[in-house]
Amino acid sequence: MFGSSLKVAIRFTLITTVLLGLIYPLIVTGFAQIALRNQANGELITNDGKVIGSRLIGQNFASDKYFHSRISAAGNGYDGTSSGGSNYAVSSQKLVTRIQGDVEKVSKDNPSQPVPIDLVTASGSGLDPDITPAAAFYQAHRIAVARKITDDEVTKLVKYHITPRQFGFLGEARVNVLELNLALDELAKAPQD
pTM: 0.78
Adjacent-strand bridge partners of 174: 163
The confidence score (pLDDT) of residue 145 equals 92
Tell me the pLDDT band of 65, cut-offs 50, 70 and 90.
Answer: very high
If you ran DSSP here, which 8-state letter would residue 166 be given? B
Residue 12: pLDDT above 80?
A: yes
Round to whole Å and give the CA distance between 108 and 87: 28
Round to whole Å and give the CA distance between 58 and 68: 10
Which of 58, 62, 90 shows the shortest CA–CA distance to 72? 58
CA atoms lying within 13 Å on the CB side of residue 170:
2
